[in-house]
Amino acid sequence: MRGRTAADMSEDEEAQLVRYMLNDLPQKDCERIEELYFQDDKYFEALAALETQLVRDWLAGALTPRQAAQFEARMRSDAALREHVAMVEALAGCTAKEVPTGSAKAPIGVMRYFLSLRDIPTGLALAGSCVLLAAAILLITLSFVRISQLQDRVTTLAALRLPAEPAARPSAFDPTFSLLAGVSRGAVGPQALFIAAGARLVHLQALTPGHPAGILRVALRNPSDGTQTWSAFISGGSQVEVAVPAGLLQPGDYVLSAETGAGEMIETWQFRVVR
Amino acid sequence: MILGILARRVADMAESEINFPEEEYRSIRERLITFFRLHRRTDPETCADEVICRAVRRLREGANIDPSLRAFCLGVARNVLRESFKEKAPEELSAEPSDQREGQFARLSRVEQILLLNECLHSLPPEERRLLLEYHLGDRQLLARRHNQSANALRIRVHRIARKVLKSVQPQPGRGETHPKHPAEESHL
């Protein structure tokens, strides 16, 4: 190395010095290097300068895993090296306006994406934040509504599972009436359905000739405005009989209808109730 | 114990008639510190001072300096290193720093580091400041081509600047910190 400048150092020599600095060289080679740098000022400076490069490469992740481990081992025992590393790390915080972007290595991968976020105007970023916030609030509100609906449904289901009220007991005053299709019972004269005050159920019987057995839907309506007062599903055949709560049958005119489960009307009966 | 060593050193130096120019003294001490750092001694400055102390004593006793004072000091340094290995085995590698002494700069918070470093950087000539930042944060091969220099030459140039910065971020003399003194200075204590 004598008679030469440090700038003339070959790649092999440089690699050997790096190994020496990382404690990865046989003792004999170490001694030779030590003799050189004790004698040669330029060689010593070249060696010291390699530390600058090692620090930079370690921070940039440019060392091999083995070199990085050796460098970190050195750092653990070398306060001066840690000081150097801290200084170079802090350099990154002083750079924003100092280093022209063209000379820096282009960021890669996901870093490029995150760095690009810095260029978004503040107003746009604020607007985006507001939209995200509104979306979050809407989502939370909808979730609460949905939870509330589910709670209602659970309450309804629970109520349905409660034991039904005991059926009204037959009373001695419960009347039974027969209805004929096409005849308005009680529309004139004394044939109106008289329901005693103590009655609980009113039994209505009617004929549905020619209708096969099956489920029928029976409904009680007001003939003037068509409003439904009561309905029930019954097992029907050529004759049907329903028990209507007496309280529903206030004085007035009614139409009882029977239709199939598919909605096909089978028959209607009209009658008048008096008390 | 430190005071005892120092007193002995001062006495030795005072009696010494060895020609030890200050520039040479600092140069040798710097190499010795590097030597002990690279051999993972956690107290390289103390080891270096011990070497100088022994070297001066040996020289006073009439030891032969062959081929040079530096080579002589290197020989003494190897002895001190061997002794230190006997006293304390090479530090086991562990997750925590085996050298708990932390530099002034590394002890600062990141914000304080940046503020201090920024101040130090602005005391540099703009060209040097720019070169230091570009070397550490940019593509150094591209930088070497742009400056028409070899990678080694550029590295040395940057290293000189980094040394200046590292020195400037350390506490200045006169603020209570100790600094190595030339044996001649110590002899007048």
Nearest-Å Rg of the Cα atoms of chain B is 20
- The dihedral built from the CA positions of residue B61, B62, B68 and B74, taken in this order, carries a sign that is negative
Is B130 in Cβ contact with A99 (below 8 Å)?
A: yes
Calpha distance A91→B135 (Å, rounded)? 11
Q: CA nearest B69: which of B28, B10, B13?
A: B28
Is A79 in Cβ contact with B103 (below 8 Å)?
A: yes
**How many C-beta neighbours within 10 Å does residue A3 have?**
7
- When CB atoms are compared, the residue of A45, A85, A86 closest to B156 is A45
Instruction: Give B86→chain A minimum CA distance, Å.
Output: 17
The pLDDT, as a whole number, for residue A234 is: 84
The pLDDT, as a whole number, for residue A20 is: 93
Is B133 in Cβ contact with A95 (below 8 Å)?
A: yes
The pLDDT, as a whole number, for residue B159 is: 93
Highest CATH level, class, for B104-168: mainly alpha
Instruction: Give burial (CB, 10 Å; 0-12/13-18/19+) of B107.
Output: exposed
Is B103 in Cβ contact with A82 (below 8 Å)?
A: yes
Q: Is B79 on the interface with A (CB under 8 A)?
A: no
Is B113 in Cβ contact with A49 (below 8 Å)?
A: no
DSSP 3-state of A46: helix
Contacts of A82 in chain B (CB under 8 A): 97, 102-103, 106
- When CB atoms are compared, the residue of A49, A80, A94 closest to B37 is A80
Question: Are A56 and A18 a contacting pair, CB within 8 Å?
Answer: no
- Residues with Cβ within 8 Å of A198's Cβ and at least 6 positions away in sequence, in order, are A171, A172, A173
Diameter of chain B measured on Cα atoms:
56
- The dihedral built from the CA positions of residue A88, A94, A98 and A104, taken in this order, carries a sign that is positive
The pLDDT, as a whole number, for residue B29 is: 92
The pLDDT, as a whole number, for residue B4 is: 46
Calpha distance A143→B83 (Å, rounded)? 74
First-to-last alpha carbon distance for chain A, in angstroms, is 130
Give the distance from CA B121 to its chain's centroid. Answer: 22
Higher pLDDT, A148 or A7: A148
- Using 70 as the pLDDT threshold, list the residues of chain B that sit under it: 1-20, 88-103, 171-189
Q: Which amino acid is at A124?
A: L
The pLDDT, as a whole number, for residue B187 is: 40
- Residues with Cβ within 8 Å of A200's Cβ and at least 6 positions away in sequence, in order, are A168, A169, A170, A171, A173, A174, A245, A246
Instruction: Give B122→chain A minimum CA distance, Å.
Output: 10
Domain boundary assignment for chain B: 2-91, 104-168
Contacts of B163 in chain A (CB under 8 A): 48
Is B166 in Cβ contact with A83 (below 8 Å)?
A: yes
Is A82 in Cβ contact with B159 (below 8 Å)?
A: no
Calpha distance B42→B36 (Å, rounded)? 8
Residue A8 half-sphere exposure, CB side, CA atoms within 13 Å? 7
pLDDT tens-place string over residues B78-124:
999 988 887 766 554 444 555 555 667 888 888 888 888 888 888 89
The pLDDT, as a whole number, for residue A164 is: 43
SS3 content of chain A, % helix, strand, coil (to 5): 45, 20, 30
CA B109 to each of CA A17, A90, A242, A253, B114: distance values in angstroms, whole numbers, following the listed order: 33, 10, 90, 93, 9
Q: CA nearest A231: which of A213, A255, A211?
A: A255
Higher pLDDT, A253 or B179: A253
pLDDT tens-place string over residues A198-223:
888 888 888 887 777 778 888 998 88
pTM value is 0.54
The pLDDT, as a whole number, for residue A179 is: 85
For helices A79-91 and B110-122, give the axis angle rounded to 10 degrees.
80
Instruction: Give burial (CB, 10 Å; 0-12/13-18/19+) of A78.
Output: buried
Q: Which two tokens stand for residue A72?
A: 């970190």
The pLDDT, as a whole number, for residue A193 is: 83
Q: CA nearest B47: which of B57, B58, B37?
A: B37
The pLDDT, as a whole number, for residue A21 is: 92
DSSP 3-state of A266: strand
Smallest CA–CA distance from A102 into chain B, residue: B138
The pLDDT, as a whole number, for residue A189 is: 56
Q: CA nearest A37: which of B30, B166, B161, B21?
A: B30
pLDDT tens-place string over residues A71-87:
998 888 888 899 899 88
- Residues with Cβ within 8 Å of A271's Cβ and at least 6 positions away in sequence, in order, are A177, A179, A184, A185, A186, A192, A193, A253, A254, A256
pLDDT tens-place string over residues A121-177:
677 778 888 899 999 999 998 888 888 888 877 777 766 554 444 445 566 778 888
Q: Which two tokens stand for residue A24?
A: 């990865």
